[in-house]
Amino acid sequence: MRRKLAAGNWKMNGVKASLAEVSALIAAHPNPKSEVLLCPPATLVAAMAEVAAGKIAVGGQDCHMKASGAHTGDIAAAMLRDCGASHVILGHSERRADHGETNAIVRAKAEAARAEGLVTVICVGETEAQRDAEETLEVVGKQLFDSTPDGATGANTVIAYEPVWAIGTGRTPTLAQIAEVHDFLRSELVARFGAEGAAVRLLYGGSVKPSNATEIFATSNVDGALVGGASLKAADFGAILSALDAA
């Protein structure tokens, strides 16, 4: 059985005072059935890991493919691990779009992260133009294959499907569209990795909020969510977590 996962991506939001939301989340949900992961900005990883105290997992939002060196502004996987992180998000659409990250770069980063024992949350997703051109499965299939290193298992890899056109827009694909992509991703994972492909968790991301979480979590092959803005507030993320626990 795949344990459900509620993951929050704080993106470029949060200062030390924001960690009060983490304490509030833990207090309101001391024993969730689902695994909980929060990925704050790099400046807060160590501080959040202290507040989380092992009750929730903490992750980074990116890492470099190199272990160290002259890469000003970048963070190595070992540095995240040293700060208390256990996971790292890789290949998010904003990284792909804003920083020109290719599938090959994402794969190299995933290999570096895995070498340091970090669980990789690898993101895939199509743009609105690609969706309108009926290229969704082709696009996410290539991203999945090219971005995911060999040897993926349920223990070291999570895949997040985030339709780019639904991130932060309030728009959400239909349940049938979500199921189509998640079922496709599952079949591709099983075809490549066998039983381990069946164990890899698939998260849905893209304007997940308390009002739509229950129906999304009831959809085929949705093992949880990668949540953006709604993960910044304990009340909102807690409501999503409750919906996932009940799924």
Give the residue among 57, 52, 43 at the shortest CA–CA distance from 21: 52
φ, ψ dihedrals at 174, nearest 5°:
-65, 160
- Return mean pLDDT, the chain: 97
pLDDT in tens, 168-214: 777 779 999 999 999 999 999 999 999 999 999 999 998 899 999 99
Q: What is the pLDDT of residue 62?
A: 98
pLDDT in tens, 79-124: 999 999 999 999 999 999 999 999 999 999 999 999 999 999 999 9
Active site residues: 92, 162
Q: What is the pLDDT of residue 150?
A: 98
47-56 exposure pattern, b = at least 16 Cβ within 10 A, e = fewer: bbbebbeeeb
pLDDT at 74 over 80: yes
Distances (CA, A) of 4 to 63, 81, 147, 226, 244: 24, 23, 23, 11, 7
Q: What is the pLDDT of residue 172?
A: 78
Helix (H, G, I), strand (E, B) or coil at 119: strand
Distances (CA, A) of 149 to 10, 106, 193: 26, 9, 11
Residue partners of 36: CB distance under 8 A and separation at least 6 = 5, 6, 7, 25, 29, 56, 57, 241
User: What's the pTM?
Assistant: 0.97
Q: CA 192, CA 150: separation in Å to the nearest integer?
A: 9
The stretch 5-9 carries a mean pLDDT of 98
Cβ atoms of residues 28 and 238 within 8 Å: yes
pLDDT at 229 over 90: yes
pLDDT at 143 over 90: yes
Q: What is the pLDDT of residue 1?
A: 82
The stretch 2-10 carries a mean pLDDT of 98
Copy the structure tokens of residue 119: 């669980």
pLDDT at 221 over 90: yes
The three-state (H, E, C) secondary structure of 12-28, written as one string: CCCCHHHHHHHHHHHHH
Helix (H, G, I), strand (E, B) or coil at 243: helix
Q: What is the pLDDT of residue 206?
A: 87
Give the residue among 227, 136, 129, 229 at the shortest CA–CA distance from 177: 136
Domains (ranges, CATH) in the chain? Answer: 5-169+186-246 (3.20.20.70)
Distances (CA, A) of 52 to 38, 46, 56, 72, 161: 9, 10, 6, 29, 26
Copy the structure tokens of residue 239: 């409501």
Q: What is the pLDDT of residue 167?
A: 81
pLDDT in tens, 122-137: 999 999 999 999 999 9
